[in-house]
Amino acid sequence: MVPTPTPLSAFARRPLLPARGLAGAQAAGWQPGQDDGTLHGEVFAASSEGGGAALALALVLDRMAALAPDPVVDVPDQRAWLWVQDAQALRLTGRPYRPGLPPALRHRLVHVAAKTPEEALFALEEGLRCRDLAFVIGEVAGNPRALDFTASRRLSLAAQRHGVPLWLVRLDARPDLSAARQRWQARAVPSLPPRWNAQAPGAPAWQAELFRARNHPPGEWLLHHAADGRLAHRDAPEPALQTLS
Amino acid sequence: MARRILAIWLPRLAIERWLLGQGDDQSGDGSPLVLISDTAHGPRVTAATRAGLEAGARPGMMLADVRALCPQIAVAPADPSGDLGLLEQLALWAQRWGPWSALDPPDGLVVDVSGAAHLFGGEDALLADARRRLAARGLSTRLAIAPTAGAAWALAHYGADGATVQPGDSLDPLPVAALRLDPAVLTVLRRLGLKRIGDLTGVARDALARRFRSAHAPAANPLIRMDQLAGRVPEPLLPVVSLESPLVQRRLMEPIRHRVLLDKVLEDLCADMARILEGRALGARRLELALWKVDGEVVARRLEVSAASRDAAHLAGLFARKLDDVDAGFGIELARLRAAWIEPLPLAQKDFEASAERQGTSLAACIDRLSVRLGEGAIRRPVLHASHVPERAQRWVAPLDPAAVRQESLAFHARPLKLLDRAEPIAVLYASPDGLPRRFRWRGDVHEVMRAEGPERIAPEWWRERSTVRLRDYYRVEDGEGRRYWIYRHGLSGDGRGGTPDWYLQGLFG
């Protein structure tokens, strides 16, 4: 029996493929406070500052705040979250400190101290497969052999399959091949002076460069926590401050 | 209905158990022998055979004194824990006469026979039955039935053998030792001339209460004991309950030497165990796997899970990781799995692992997998601790442990996102003696301090640390590139606790 040819109108209902490249309609610039569906991101940072993990947490919180609330659920999401560190990252930048974590996340942290990058990757993947976790933060120092493109692709697929966001902080690492949907380069910048004591350090601020993203053009932002706790960007860096006299 | 309590006293439990262990029933009783336990002053007699008693040995004597009386006496070590084990088994066995029984260490049992005596044809028949069955086991007994445990004990130890008393019967002729009092209290009563329980009832109650007003333990206060004897005060007894841990095993036709087969056996064992646990609505917290090899060696592996589980695939998967280093040798012929720690787990929907593929695992399963691979202490959760010293203000506990409710840290304290495990020494240029830091060197890099806030002075915890521990002045600093750190000066110059203060970097802000 000869199969009947498919009429051309059968393709009419299919959604358009997402446009590749910057000129497409999807390729809007990244903005804080919007949910772009990114489930796997990487933040590159130096180990001499705590900015990488802080920016990753800020991006996670930003996305959670931007998510449309589920109309059925009447209690806020109080699931635990996982923070995986390998031994080198733990030695370089220390352990999470509960009183310094964002208040919404303090009581929900589950911390994994892995000895090797392989164990850290195992823990990250197990965390992504767990439905009782809100998100997973990983911290890996350097460019370990285990964290190659295949491993990051595995993580990316697990994150998408189970819908658990993963943000991987790469300390002192070269941006090698990776399947992450967003890749940021983070660096601390002088903070805005706080309202009551101009000589004191203010709320954390970062120079964040989005150098590789699936659905955004690359760009560079100066991000900080606004007064309402949300992520905001300012256009110009602060003028250079005088040394203490 | 009135309570009826049967007290069983086994006055020669230790020596009779030893004789039974030797295999001869009563013939050993004719040769002088004592059981001894080691004390700080040398070996002391705890029990003696009939011939030993006739030779002059008494429980509590020093062995040297007994040897002086009877040089040919034989000696064996006492085994109190073994005696207690036998007593526990007897207590379970004694539940044939009543619904529950309790231990009365070191050599007694208490059985509640309320409303059960008619099954044996009355209380006298019940006592006769108990005496006959215990004698058949080679144990000499003294029995009594009374309305309270205290009265039954008193009658068994000091009354006529096989006595029964009804509520309201007088126990006045019994000696005061029948009140289960401490020897010191008995001495006091004897010196007061109170020798029988009847003498105590003759004394005004408030006089006794005044005399023993500071003794709150029942064994030190005759009033409490007399009230317990008469049933005026309840005396709760801890019943013995038999708990058997679920156990499954597989005997193998052929010894197995290959890992694939062992995994299959393990799956079967876990499935059997899951079925048993499910039937009793239990979950396993700790499982012990033992593998008997052909040459008689036993390989044991133990698994603990963070929440009670009876998911066969989950448990088998966790065990499989622990079997990597098993050396099968000439083969394994018997595998046995025992749930050593079980907890109630209500029946729930099955098919855990297949749904995990689609809907993800639960947090407990995720933590189990991680802790099997990474080790016990790798997965932890921070909880607050009542301390103002920063590194002590947080502690790490197992992730599913319930956390005690603590006061949150104060909102106006700015604390760093991360704390180094050990504060790192830094070289700091600062306005001496206690000015703000200007510049510091950490891990080989020089940081110019652009902004600083401080000091926040944190004193040592004087109630737990030495007096020479120095205070800390914490500064929040930001360098020229905007990196924010938490540094502190350890001590003041001239505080008499060391020389020039050192500086440390303890935390990193976001």
Q: What CATH number does the domain containing B71 carry?
A: 3.40.1170.60
- pLDDT for res B170: 83
Dmax over CA atoms of chain A, in Å, equals: 92
- pLDDT for res B26: 62
Q: Which A residues in the span 20-39 are in contact with B, Cβ-Cβ below 8 Å?
A: none
Q: Which residues of B touch A99 (CB under 8 A)?
A: 384, 393-394, 409, 413, 415
Of B374, B406, B505, which to mutate for an interface test with A (greatest number of A Cβ within 10 Å)?
B374
- pLDDT for res A28: 67
Mean pLDDT, chain B cut into blocks of 10 residues (510 residues total): 88 90 72 91 91 89 92 91 93 91 90 91 92 90 92 91 84 89 91 89 86 87 89 87 87 90 92 92 92 91 90 90 87 92 80 65 90 91 91 91 80 89 94 88 93 91 90 93 93 87 92
Give, for A127, the enclosing helix (H) or strand (E): helix A117-128
pLDDT at residue A13 greater than cutoff 50? no
Report yes or no on B114 lying in a domain: yes
Tell me the count of A-B CB pairs closer than 8 A. 188
Q: Are A111 and B409 an interchain contact pair (Cβ–Cβ within 8 Å)?
A: no
Average pLDDT, chain A: 83
Same domain, B225 and B278: no
Q: Which residues of B touch A137 (CB under 8 A)?
A: none
- pLDDT for res A126: 92
B59 touches B38 (CB < 8 A): no
- pLDDT for res A188: 92
Place of tokens 């193998």: B252
Nearest CA in chain B to A191: B482
Report yes or no on B71 lying in a domain: yes
Same domain, B341 and B435: no
Q: Which B residues in the span 402-431 are in contact with A, Cβ-Cβ below 8 Å?
A: 403, 409, 413-421
* A130 phi/psi in degrees, rounded to 5: -95, 125
Place of tokens 């001869």: B24
> How many domains is chain B built from?
4
Report yes or no on B39 lying in a domain: yes
Rounded distance between C-alpha atoms, residue A92 and residue A175, angstroms: 19
Flag the least confident range among A90-104, A159-173, A225-239, B375-389: A225-239
- pLDDT for res B443: 92
Same domain, B9 and B106: yes
- pLDDT for res B408: 78
> Which of these, A189, A160, A159, A155, lies nearest to A170 by C-alpha position?
A155
Helix ranges restricted to H, B174-221:
183-191, 197-202, 205-211
Same domain, B106 and B159: yes
When comparing pLDDT for B270 and A230, which is higher? Answer: B270
B20 touches B8 (CB < 8 A): no
- The tens digit of pLDDT for each residue in A130-143 reads 988 999 999 999 99
ipTM: 0.83
B310 touches B273 (CB < 8 A): yes
Domain closes at, from B313, B339, B372: B372
Same domain, B224 and B259: no
Same domain, B88 and B38: yes
**CB neighbourhood size of B280 (10 A):** 12
Of A91, A98, A101, A105, which to mutate for an interface test with B (greatest number of B Cβ within 10 Å)?
A98
* B224 phi/psi in degrees, rounded to 5: -60, -45
Report yes or no on B73 lying in a domain: yes
Report yes or no on B362 lying in a domain: yes
Q: Are B452 and A199 an interchain contact pair (Cβ–Cβ within 8 Å)?
A: yes
Q: Could you tell me if A236 lies within 8 Å of chain B, comparing CB atoms?
A: no
**CB neighbourhood size of A187 (10 A):** 18
- The tens digit of pLDDT for each residue in A54-91 reads 999 999 988 888 887 777 777 778 889 999 999 999 99
- Residue A17 — pLDDT band, cuts 50, 70, 90? very low
A203 touches A192 (CB < 8 A): yes
Rounded distance between C-alpha atoms, residue A147 and residue B488, angstroms: 37
B439 touches B449 (CB < 8 A): yes
Q: Give, as one character, the DSSP assignment of residue A187.
A: E
Q: Which of B421, B448, B481 sits opposite A94 (nearest CB)?
A: B421
pLDDT at residue A245 greater than cutoff 90? no
Distance of CA A9 to the CA centre of its chain: 41
Q: Could you tell me if B173 lies within 8 Å of chain A, comparing CB atoms?
A: no
Q: Which of B414, B438, B508 sits opposite A244 (nearest CB)?
A: B438
The CA R_g of chain A, rounded to the nearest whole Å, is: 20
Report yes or no on B393 lying in a domain: no
Same domain, B271 and B359: yes
**CB neighbourhood size of B42 (10 A):** 10
Letter for the amino acid at B442?
Answer: W
Rounded distance between C-alpha atoms, residue B65 and residue B30, angstroms: 21
Domain hosting B495: range is 418-508
Domain closes at, from B338, B372, B406: B372
Report yes or no on B237 lying in a domain: no
Same domain, B213 and B108: no
Tell me the CB-side half-sphere exposure of residue B507, using CA atoms within 13 A: 23
Question: What are the angstrom distances between the C-alpha of B221 and each of A19, B110, B213?
Answer: 90, 22, 8
Report yes or no on B153 lying in a domain: yes
Q: Which B residues in the span 365-384 are in contact with A, Cβ-Cβ below 8 Å?
A: 365-367, 369-370, 373-374, 377-384
* A167 phi/psi in degrees, rounded to 5: -120, 120
- List Cβ neighbours of B261 (8 Å cut-off, separation of 6 or more): none
Q: Are A98 and B374 an interchain contact pair (Cβ–Cβ within 8 Å)?
A: no
Give chain A's domains with CATH numbers: 36-67+77-233 (3.40.50.300)
Rounded distance between C-alpha atoms, residue B301 and residue B451, angstroms: 58
Same domain, B204 and B107: no
- pLDDT for res A109: 94
Q: Which two structure tokens, joined as six digits, stand for A41?
A: 């991101």
- pLDDT for res B77: 93
Rounded distance between C-alpha atoms, residue B419 and residue B412, angstroms: 18
B246 touches B338 (CB < 8 A): yes
Closest approach of A22 to chain B, Cα-based (Å) = 32
Q: Could you tell me if B448 lies within 8 Å of chain A, comparing CB atoms?
A: yes
Q: Are B382 and A109 an interchain contact pair (Cβ–Cβ within 8 Å)?
A: yes
Same domain, B79 and B44: yes
- Residue A144 — pLDDT band, cuts 50, 70, 90? very high
CATH of residue B361's domain is 3.30.1490.100
Same domain, B152 and B10: yes
Same domain, B358 and B426: no
Q: How many residues does chain B have?
A: 510
- List Cβ neighbours of B189 (8 Å cut-off, separation of 6 or more): B176, B181, B195, B200, B222
Q: Are B453 and A48 an interchain contact pair (Cβ–Cβ within 8 Å)?
A: no
B42 DSSP β-pair partners: B39
